[in-house]
Amino acid sequence: MIMKNDLFSFFEADYYNGNVYINGKRYAAGVFAMHLLQQFYVNDTAARISMLIHNWEVQRELDLGFLQVKEFAAAKDELFEILNNVGKLRPFDLFDIDKEKQRINELFSMENAERIQSFFQMRSKIEQKDPLVNGMGICVPGYETAEYDSCRQLIATVSETLKFYESIGDGMRDAFYGLRRFIDRLEEAERFDEEHLLPIAREELPGEIVSKAQYVSITYRKKTITVRRLRFSDYYSFILTDFYEGLHYGHYPRQCPVCGKYFLMLNARRQYYCSGKAPKKLTDGKDLSCRKYAASCGVKELAEGNPVVAVYKRRMGYIRTNQMRGVFDEDFAQVAKRYALELKEMAILDDDYARKQYFQDMQPKAFKRGVMQFMRAGGY
């Protein structure tokens, strides 16, 4: 039987020394997880894909043992529509989309639809003669064993192709929200290295990575290197691999509190602001980077021993302890974590609030009252 990740030779990447190589270009591992965070809402791609998938009938028909030609043709059109949507986003814009369209066009041809229909008709005749037969163990006039086996393989390929594209929308959502939760919890880590970030990542980005690996040699900038080539069975596996490969080398995504954009950290420093341009509405039209704007407001990168961070970590520990003891239920604990993060970010950006009110708001009794108000105000 064909492994489903053998079907999609266009969806593969090479990994070596903290970098990923796709289509002859090199990128820092983790950059595609960051791209997903930036691009998730572009044209509501995930929602579009999910809407298309819900209209598919072919998989259900194959499971039931029949096929309508019109549904087979409609599935091909929907696959093309999905490729047109994702083809504008990373990493799909780096793959050979035209080659994949050609594969789908050939796979979902009218000739193959007729072959599958003929297969189901012939299998019905076989089962009528002998319900226990599992193959071409008996002679059926006009039908060869080779064609029977070929059609079984064809149906498996069609089915796995549908499942692959069906998983993209959900994979985007699961990875996006998992990455968002990971970023929200970054300050829980004592240090921003793999040892301290990995436990958080495993909680927020669970799931199995389904891929097939081989080691190959490639040439990059006249240098030959041996890389680990992975072919992925689904989009979620690709994003998880990119994220965890990056984490292993100290790469992790962050969100800039000034411009709101995501950026990829390439070391274990506690950098809070990106080096991109701050919104002009904040700078009165001046051309300033987010880091320079923050510095101009008197907001500095927080050091390890900064009391704002120290209080935040203590409060997160307080939440976890009460959750384990059953004092806080799951819903309250999750809202409390978001509320603590919001207070911390306010203190980062508002030095006056940090000096006068932040520490009072983080006291246990005041904090619990604040969480309840936060929940009533819809902060969940």
- Residue-level pLDDT at 175: 92
Q: What is the tens place of the pLDDT at every residue in 99-153?
A: 889 999 999 999 999 888 888 887 777 666 655 554 545 455 555 667 778 888 8
Query: Is the four-CA dihedral 24, 27, 33, 37 of positive or negative sign?
Result: negative
Task: Give me the pLDDT at residue 292, please.
Answer: 77
- 300-309, 320-329, 334-343 — which is least confidently predicted? 300-309
Amino acid, single-letter form, for residue 236: Y
Task: Kindly provide the b/e burial profile for residues 316-347, where b requires at least 16 CB atoms within 10 angstroms of the residue's own CB.
Answer: bebbeebbeeeebeeebbebbbbbbbebbbbb
pLDDT band at 1 (very low <50, low <70, confident <90, very high): very low
Q: What is the mean pLDDT of residues 346-362?
A: 79
Separation between Cα atoms, residue 283 and residue 19, nearest integer Å: 36
Per-residue model confidence as pLDDT tens digits over 69-87: 888 888 898 889 888 888 7
Give residue 227's pLDDT: 92
What's the rounded mean pLDDT across residues 358-366? Answer: 89
Element (H, E) at 252: strand 252-255
Contact present, 62 and 159 (Cβ < 8 Å): yes
* Nearest residue to 344 via CA among 371, 308, 380, 292: 308
Please give the pLDDT value at position 141: 52
Query: So what's the pLDDT on residue 143?
Result: 59
Q: Sorting pLDDT into bands at 50, 70 and 90, what band is 66?
A: confident
Give yes or no for residue 4 having a pLDDT over 50.
no
Q: Please tell me the pTM assigned to this model.
A: 0.68
Is 122 or 205 the better-scoring residue by pLDDT?
Answer: 205
**How high is the pLDDT of residue 136?**
47
Average pLDDT over residues 183-198: 86
CA 190/CA 125 separation, integer angstroms = 68
Contacts for 316-321 with beta carbons within 8 Å, 24 or more apart? 316/187, 316/188, 316/340, 318/364, 318/367
pLDDT tens, residue by residue, 208-266: 888 888 899 988 888 899 999 998 888 899 999 999 999 998 899 998 888 888 988 88
Give whole-number Cα distances, 88 to 10, 39, 66, 115, in Å: 16, 10, 35, 34
Under 8 Å CB-to-CB from 184, ≥6 apart: which residues? 337, 338, 341
If you average pLDDT over residues 158-185, what whole number do you get? 88
